[in-house]
């Protein structure tokens, strides 16, 4: 038999791998002796692989996933109130040289507070209409520029292909700075945030102690994942995962490219993220966008879990 592996649009032609003696027992999942990629020098001995449970509804011990953990509503309750509680924390992060940083608290007055709005909650966006007067191509270009700014280039210096826009360690930028840089109106920015795929973007506004909006202004915008800016505090964007959370999860799914499956089966999952980030969602990640081999995508606000670095080793 032969298996075709699509290595992605940027990785050249499709590679055809020849598989020999690939006997998989449908009951036990026992994998056969060798895999050949067409080159005798690249044969890999897979006889030492453990049995793999081929039932997608059960774990390796035969337990059904739907009988483990808690229901979706209970799982999503792990992320709390979906608000960023990192404002007014005082201590400034260690910012890379040349990066533009600010706590962005100059507009927060007594008896007011920042409020993170749910993209699907119309009440949160009261007095903040959404409109789009751009063509599909213009919208796509503006959205790409927006995400690039929020995830990568916003606070970088101008001579480093950045925009020198002040950002805080929660990943927030002033909405006014974004509008001026991309040359869009507030209602167009609101449209891009609320229609962002998988709730990638978030907006925040000022509210009173009763969570009632005090004006019709969008104050701050951020991306919830995919940052390359190292000094962002992941605890302001993600839910901290503790050992007590384990009993509430039925399973954690790891998404990867097909070409890496054999290596994962052979070596297991190796920690590759110093920040200890892992993501979970009630739906599967989109197949478009991102780099080849991305493990997962955050699909809704505060549904990702942050494992503090000091606990990373024990959690693996």
Q: Is the pLDDT of residue 306 over 50?
A: no
* 101-146 tens-digit pLDDT: 999 999 999 999 999 999 989 999 999 999 999 999 999 999 999 9
Start-end of H helices in 206-305: 261-267
User: In the prediction, which pLDDT does 15 show?
Assistant: 37
Maximum average pLDDT range among 80-89, 169-178, 296-305: 169-178
Start-end of H helices in 183-277: 186-194, 261-267
Helix-, strand-, coil-residue percentages of the chain, each rounded to 5: 25, 15, 60
Taking the model in full, what pTM does it have? 0.65
* 190-223 tens-digit pLDDT: 999 999 876 789 999 999 999 999 999 999 999 9
What the block records as the tokens of 187 is: 């209602």
Q: Is residue 285 a contact partner of residue 255, using CB atoms and an 8 Å limit?
A: yes
Q: How far apart are CA 126 and CA 216, in angstroms?
A: 8
Task: Give CA separation, 99 vs 92, 105, 135, in Å.
Answer: 13, 18, 33
């Amino acid at each position: 038999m032969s298996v075709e592996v699509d290595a992605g649009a940027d990785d050249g032609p499709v590679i055809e791998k020849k598989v020999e003696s690939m006997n998989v027992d449908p009951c036990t999942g026992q994998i056969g002796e060798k895999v050949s990629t067409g080159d005798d020098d690249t044969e890999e001995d897979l006889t030492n692989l453990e049995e793999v449970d081929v039932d997608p509804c059960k774990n390796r011990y035969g337990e059904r996933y739907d009988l483990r953990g808690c229901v979706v509503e209970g799982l999503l309750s792990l992320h709390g109130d979906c608000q960023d509680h990192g404002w007014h924390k005082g201590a400034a992060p260690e910012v890379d040289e040349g990066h533009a940083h600010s706590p962005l608290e100059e507009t927060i007055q007594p008896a007011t507070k920042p409020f993170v709005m749910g993209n699907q909650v119309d009440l949160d966006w009261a007095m903040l209409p959404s409109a789009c007067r751009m063509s599909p191509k213009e919208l796509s270009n503006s959205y790409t520029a927006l995400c690039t700014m929020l995830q990568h280039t916003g606070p970088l210096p101008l001579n480093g292909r950045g925009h020198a826009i002040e950002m805080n360690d929660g990943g927030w930028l002033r909405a006014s700075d974004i509008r001026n840089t991309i040359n869009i109106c507030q209602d167009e920015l609101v449209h891009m945030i609320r229609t962002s795929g998988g709730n990638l973007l978030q907006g925040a506004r000022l509210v009173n102690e009763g969570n009632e909006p005090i004006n019709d202004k969008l104050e701050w915008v951020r991306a919830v994942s995919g940052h390359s800016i190292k000094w962002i505090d992941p605890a302001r964007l993600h839910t901290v995962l503790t050992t007590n959370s384990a009993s509430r999860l039925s399973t954690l799914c790891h998404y990867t490219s097909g070409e890496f499956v054999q290596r994962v089966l052979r070596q297991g999952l190796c920690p590759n993220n110093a920040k200890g980030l892992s993501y979970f969602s009630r739906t599967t990640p989109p197949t478009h966008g991102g780099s080849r081999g991305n493990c997962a995508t955050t699909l809704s606000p505060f549904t990702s879990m942050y494992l503090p670095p000091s606990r990373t080793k024990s959690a693996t």
